[in-house]
Structure 1
C-alpha cells in the first residue's frame, strides 16, 4: 500500500518531468536531420484518444462482457483504414484556411456563421464536463485502490481536486502563451507524446504479466476464440454497432482530437505514416485488454472490487508494487494527456467563439490590439480553471454512479452530432448554414433528452424518475429511454439512433429548403472533394473547353470581324505573346474580351453575354463569378483608391459632370457646409446645393436667385476661377475651380482662416512695431535698474559679513585672553558662514534662472521628508522655546525632485522659526484632489497684505523679532524659482499677530515598494589615512593641512604637477584631493589620471573647484572622480574620507 501523499508526490514529480519535456520541446524544435521522427511524435500525440477510459474502463468492460470493449478501438481503426483521405483533406483545408478548432471549421465552411460556431462550442462544453469528470474519477479511483482511501473523501482530501489544479496550471503555462491558436504547441505535443509512450509501456507490461505469470491464464486464448465464434454466429449486438460508429466519428469530432490531428499537424504528409503507427498503437492496446480482463475476472469474481479498478488490483493482488506504480503512472498519463488537450482546445473555442465576439460587439471594436491579445489570453486561462472546477464538481456529484465507459460514451454521442454538418459540408455543395445549425441543434437537443437527462436522473442530480418511467406529463411515447415507444435497445444505441437520425434528416431537409447563398456557395468550393469540383479559371492556366478562337468568334459577332481581329492582334502584341487560336483561354484574355464587348454594347450587356458563353463552355456559377468579378474588383479598387485619396486631403472637394450634376465629393465638403445626408447623392443637380447655401446665408447679401444663375453660368462655361469668401462665423474659404477634360467641373474649398489671421497679425505687427520697440526699451531700462539695485544689494550684504570678519580677526590678533580668542574665532566663523550662505543662495538663483538645475522627478514619501526636516530643526526650535510638530499620514507619496523640494521647505521652516516669538511651527501634508499640499504653519508676527508680493523679491526683508539670526532675503526668492522649475504652485496666507502659512502643491504619486534596508558600514576612523592635497594656492594648502591634521590624517601637500608626482612616489597616498584650476600645463582631472597611472590603481579622488559647469561635471563623472565645489564644506570632505575607510 502507498500513502495518498506519496502518490500525489510521485504524480507531482511526474508532472514536473513533463514540464521539463514541454519546455525542451518549446525551446529546441526538432532538427531537420531528425525530421523522420516527426510522424512518430505526431502518432503518439494522436494517442491522446486513449484516455483513462481506454486504460481503466476498457478492462472493466472486458471483464463484464468479453469483447464489449472492442468498439472504442475498432471505430478509430476503421476510420484510419477507410476514412484517412477524408481526415487528410480536413487537415489540408484547415491549414489553408488557418482554422483553429472544429467550431472554426464548421463556421468557415458555412459562410463564417458565428451562431454555428457558438452552438458547436456550447455543445462541446456540455459534452466535455462528463468526459473531464471521467479522468478525475479515474485518478481518484486509482489513488483509492493503492492508498486504501475511503470511497467518498472530503473535497480537500479528494486527489481529483489537486490533479485538476496542477493540470490546469500546466495547460495555462503551455497553452495560453500566445493568442495565435494556429501556432504549433511543440512542447505540449512532445509532452503528450511522452505520456502516450508511458501509458503504452505500462499497459504492455501489465498485459504480459497477466498472460505469462498468472495461474489459470492459459485458457485466455480459448476465451478469445469463443468470444469470436459468438460474434460470428449471433452477429454484433446493436450496442457494439452504435459504439463503433460514435468512436469512429470521435476521431474527427472530439475537439481535442481535432486539435491534435489537425491544428498540431506540422505537415500533411505526416498523416500517412502516422495513421499506421496510431492504428498499430490502438491494435496493441485492444489485444492486451482482453487477457487482463479475463485474468482479473478469474481472480476477483465474487469479490467487492469494481471492474474498472482491475488494472490496479491485479498487480496489488500479487504484491508487485513496482508494477502497480507503473500502472498508476500509465493511467495518470492517460488522464492528464486528455485533460491538457481538452482544456486548451475548449478554452480556445470559448474565447474565440463565445466571449470575445460579445466583448468586441459591446465595445464597437474600439480596442487596441495589445489589449485584445491580453484579454484573449486571460479569457482562455479563466476558461481552463472553470473547466477544471466543473469537472471536479461533476465527478463528486456522480461518484459511484455508473462506470467510466458510460461517461465516455455519453461524451462520444454528444460530439457525434457535429458529424452530419462536417461530413456533409465536405461532400455536398448544397449543404447550407441553416441546415447545419438546425441539424446540429436538433441532434443536440435529442441527445440531451435521451442520454444526458437520464444520466442526471440515475446519478441523483435530478429527481425526475417519473419522466423515465411514464414520460413527461404522462405521455408514454415520449419516455426519454424509449422514445416513440422504441424498445429492445440499450440506452446508448437508442439515444445515438434518434439523435443522429433527426440530425441528418433536419440537415438535409433544411438545406434543400433554404439553399446556400452565393457567398456561402462560393466559400464551399475550397471544402469540397477535389474530384467533385473543377479547377477554378481564375488562374492564367485554366484548361477548360473555351478557347481563344471561341472568344474571337464571340467578339466578331458583336464588334465586327475586322475590329475584333485587329483588337486581338494588338492585345497579344502588347503582351508579347503569340496568337494561338486553339489555345485555352486564360483569365486575362477573357477580361480583355469583356472590355472589348463593353465598348460596343455596355458593361452590363457585355458581362451577360460573356457569362452565357462561359456557361455554355461548362463553367459552374461560382467559377463564372470568380472569373468575371475580378474585373469588377479592379474597378472597385480603383474607385476605392480615388475615394481614399479624396477623404485623406485637407481640402473639401466636389465634382460635377457635364450636366452639372454631383458625381463625387468628400467628407470634408459635407462638413464644411454642414449639408444634411439626404441632400448629397450622386446625380443631385449642383443648383440645389448652391440654393441651399444661399438660403442659409452662405452667399452674403443680395438676390439669391441672381447669384445662383451667375454661378451656374460660370460652371457651364467651364472657366477657371479663384475666389475668397468670408463666412458669417469669420471663417475664410478659398475656392478654386477648373474644368475637366470631356466635360464636368471640379472645385476645391480650402479653409485659409489661419493664414488670413496670420496675415492680419503681421500687418498689425508692422503698424505697431515702433510702439513695441519703445515698450521693449522701457522694459530693458527697468531690468537694468533692477540689476543695478540687485548688485548694490549684493555688494552691501556681501561686504557686511566680510567686514565683520575682518574686525573680529583684528580683535583676535590683539586679544591675549584665550576665552576671548575662542569667542572671536566663533564670530569670524559665523561671519564667513553668512558670506558663504549668501554666495550659495546667489549661485542657486543664478542656476535656477539659467535653467541649469534639471529636476530629477521621482516618487518620494512626503511624510518621511517632513519628519526628516522636523528632526533637523528640532534643536533650533528647542533652543528658542518653540514647539515643532508634524501632521502627515504615513506613506504619503508625491512626484517631485527630493533635493529641490527639501530646499524649498527648508526655507519655509527657517523663515517660520525666524519670525516666531512664541508658540510653534506645524508641518502638514494634506490631500487636495489629485495633489498633496505641503504646508508650514507658524504663530509668528504675520505679514502685511501690501508686503505679500514683495516678500519674493531678492534681499527683501521686513521687521522681525529680536531673537535669531538675521536672514539673507533670498530664501523665498529661491522658493519661488524652485516652484516655477518644478511646476509646483505656491500658496501664502497670513494675518498680522496670528501667524503665516506657506505651502507648496505637489502631484500625488503611486506608493513605491520599500527598498531592502542595508546596514551601513561603520567608519573605522581617519587615523593613518594618507592624503595628497594639490593646489596652486599656498593659503588653501595650509588650511587643508591644518584641517586634516585635526582629523589625524597623514597629509602631504603639493603646489604643482611636478611636485605632486614627486610626492606621490614618496608618500604613496590613499586618497587624492586635487584642485581643478592648477594654472599648470594640465588641469586637475588630467593630474588625477597621471597619479592613478603612477600608483597602478584607481585611487579615490576628489576634484575641488568653484566651476560647476556641465563639462567639468561630465568629465569628473566619466573619470570616476567625486566633485566637491568651493567653498568646501568640511562635513562633506570628512564624509568622503570616512567612506574610503568604511
Structure 2
C-alpha cells in the first residue's frame, strides 16, 4: 500500500506545479514568440473532455459491457473529423458576437432573452453537479484503493472525497478568478489544461503499455468479453455515440475551451487530427488493460473502475500505480477548474447579478467597485458548487459507476444541442419554441434519469440511454411544434439574420415578407428613373458577391434597406418610407413590420445627415454646395461669415449667380464688369471643371477659392482665408532679398567674436602659464630655506647630548615637515589647475608602491603605537607610477593622522580586469552628510588630529583630481565612530620584467660607518643650504667640499677627486643646470664619482630626465634619513670593484 501522507504531498505538489505552469503562461505569453505552438496547445487543451470517467470509467465499462466504452471516444472524434463546417460556423458566430458562455450564445441568438439565459444556466448547473461529484468520487476512491482505507463509509469529515472537493475548489478559486474580464483569452489556463492533458495521456499509455507487455495465456475471459461485437450495432451504442458527440460542444467546459478560447478558427484544422488521435490512443490502450485485468481475476476482488490502479499494485509496480493516480488527478483537476470557471461565470452573470442588481440598497453599498463584488461572487459560487456536488455524492443511495454519472451529465447538456443547431441553421426557430423545448426536455431528464439516481422516482427507472433519447426527442418536438404554431416575428427574423448571414456558405434570401425584386425595382424606377435604379440594385448584388436575381425572386432585408436609402436621398426619408410601405403592404407585410424594417435605415440616414452637418460646421473653410442647376443646396456658417452676407441672403434654392452679382456690386471683383465675372464662374460650374483662384477683398483679406465638380452633378466650392499665409509669404520674400546682406553682417560679427575669443584664450593661457611659473618659483624659493632649516635641525639632533635640545630640534623638524607638506599640496593643486600635470601610463608592479609606502610610514605608525599592515600584491597595474603613489600617500597619511588607536590596513582585491586598492583605518569615521564635502578644496572637518597635525584640507581634493586625471574611480565607505575605507579602482596591467627602483636604495638599513671618510662635493647657490649639509654630513664622518657655482665645483673635482657629488638643479643663470653639471663631473664611466640631483622642482619631466641620465633624485626639503640611505647605497656601489 501507499502512504496517505505521501499521496497528499504528491497531490499538493502537483497542484502547485500546475499553478506555476498557468502563472508562467499568463505572465510570459507563449504565443508571440512561438505562434506555431498555439494550435497544438489548443488541441491538447480540448483533452479536458477526458475526465475521470474516460480515465478510470472507460476501463470499468469495457469490463462490464465490452465495446460499450467506445462511444465516449468515438462521438467527439466523428464531430471533429466530419463536423468541421459546423464547428467553424459555431466559432465564427461566437467571435462575431463576443460570446462568453453557452448560455450567452443561446440567449443572444433569440433576442438576448434573460429567461433563456437563466434556464440554460440552471440546466448546466444541474448537469454539472453529478459530473463534479463524479470527479470527487473517482479521486477519493483512488486514494482508498492505494492506501487500503475506506473513507467513503466513514463520517463526512473522514471522507477523502470531501477534502478532494475542498482542495479542488480552493485551486479553482486561485486559478479561475484572478481576473474579471472573461472575454479575454486565458492563456495561462489553456497552457495548464494542455499540460494536464499530456500528463494523463502519458499515465494512461504507461499503464496500457505495461499491460500489453505482460499479457500471457490467461486472457480468456477478457478475450471473450471483447470478442462479442453485437453491442456495436445496438441502439444503445448509437445513442451513446450521439450523446458524446453533442457533449463535445454542449458541455460548458468544452464550449469554453473549444469555442470561447479559440484564438484563431484556423487552429481547428490542427485540432481536426490531433484531438481524434488523442482520443484514439485512450480507446486503444483500454483493451490490454481490460485483457490483463480480467485474466488476472481482478473482477472478482475489485470494482472494475479501479482496474487502472489495482492492476499495477497487485503486480508489484506501485510506482506505476502512483503515476496512474497522478493521471486521474490531472483528469479531475482539469475538469473541475474549467467547469468551475464556466459555471461561475454563467451563474454570476445570468442568476446572481440580475437578482442582486434589483436591490437599490446593494447598488448603493457596492459603489463604483462592482468588479470586486463580482469576483467574490464567482469565488463563493465555486465553493458552493464544490459543496453541492459533495452533497449529491453523499445523498445518492449507492455509489454509481463512473460511466452512469458521466452519461447522466451528457444527457442533461444534450438538451442544448437542438437550440444550438436550430439557432445556427434554422431561421424559423423562435424564442418560445427553444424555451419550450428546453423546459420539456429538462423535465423528462429529471423524471427519467435524475430521480432514479436518488431512488425516489415515481415510476420505474428506465434505462439511462432510453431516458436520454426520450428527453432529447421531447425537446426537439416541443421546439419545432411551438415555433411553427407561434410563428417567427419580424424581430426574430432580423435577429436570426445576424447569426446566419456570415456563417452560411451561400447567401440564402430571406422572405422579407412577400416583396419581390421586381416590385422594389418598379418603385425605384418611378422615382429615380430606370438607369439609376438598375445601377443601385446592380451595385448591391456586386458588393454581396451574388448574381443579379430575377424579378420574381424574393427580396431580402439588405436590398430593402439599400433601395430605401437610395430613395431617401432623392425624396427624403419620410417620402421613401411612405412609398415602400404602400408598395409592400399588399404583399403580406403588416404596416407595423414595414415601419420597423425601415426605421433602422431612417435612423442611419438621420445620423449621417447630422454627422455631415456637424463636420461642415467645424471646419475652418467656408463651404457652398450647388446642384446641377446652379442653386445653393448646402452651406456652412463660415461661408456666411467670410463674405458678410446679410441674414436671409443665402437660402436653399438661391441661385449662385445672384450671390456672385451681390459680391460684384459690392466691389469684391474690382472695377470690372460684373456680368463677365458671373459668366466666368458659371462656365466653370456648367463645364464641370475644377479651378483654384486667389482674390484680395476690399478689406485687405485674401481668400483662396477652390471649385470641384461632384460626380452626379452639382458643384462644391471651398473658401479659405489665407491672409496670414500671404503675409508670411511677403515677409519671406523680403527676407530673401536682404538675406545676403544679413549673412555678411552676421559673418563679420562672428569673425569679430572669434577673434575676441582667441585673444581672451591667449590671455588666459598666458596668465595660467605666468601663475604656474610663479607658483613653481615661489615653491622653490620657499623650499630652499626649509631645506636648510631641516638640515640644521637634523644636525642639531645628532650633535647635541642635551635631551631638551634634542626635543626642541625634533619639534622644529616636525614643523618644517608639516610646512613642506603644505607647500607640496599647494604645488600639486597649482599644477592640476593649470593642466601642466601629465600622466605617464606604464605597467608596473603594485608591490613596489606598497613597499615604498611601508618604508615611508612604518616608523611613524610605530612611534604612535599603531599597527600598519601592508599586503604584498602580485599583480601589475597600468597607471602613472608617481601620481598613483601620490594618491596612496595622501590616503595612508590621512588614515594615520586621524587614527588614535588600532591601526591602518593597505590592501587590494581583484575585480574582473581591475584591482581595487583599499585603505582601512579604525579612526573616528566620517558622517554621511560630510562624505561628499571632504573632497572639496580647503575642506576640513571640525575634528582635530589626535597627534596635533594640521593641513590645508587639500589632500583628498588632490587625490580626487589626480584620480580623474588618471581615469580612476575613487570611493569612500565610512561609519561614524567605527572607521573609514578609501578605495581606488585601477586597471590591471601586463606583467613585465622587474626594474630597479628609482633611487636604488637597498631594502635593508645602511650603517653610518660606511660613510666615514668619504669625500662628498655639495653644489648649491644657497650658502645656508651648504652650511646645513656640511654640518650634517660632517657629523656622519664624511669630508665635505662645497661649491656655489660650476667653476668652483670643477676645481674641487679636479683637485680633491670626491667620491660623491650632491648638486642642486637650479644654479646661477650663467651656470649650466645641475644635471648638466653632474654629467660633466661624473662622466658616463664607472671610474668617476656617483652623482645625486637635489632639487625643489617636483615636475615629472625633471624626474624622467634624471632617470634617463642615471642619476637618483632627492626632493627638497631633504629628509636626513632618505639622504643617509641613498649615500650609503651609492658608497657601497662605489667601493665594489667592477667585474
Normalised TM-score (structure 1): 0.50
Query: Which structure: larger Rg?
Result: 2
Normalised TM-score (structure 2): 0.50
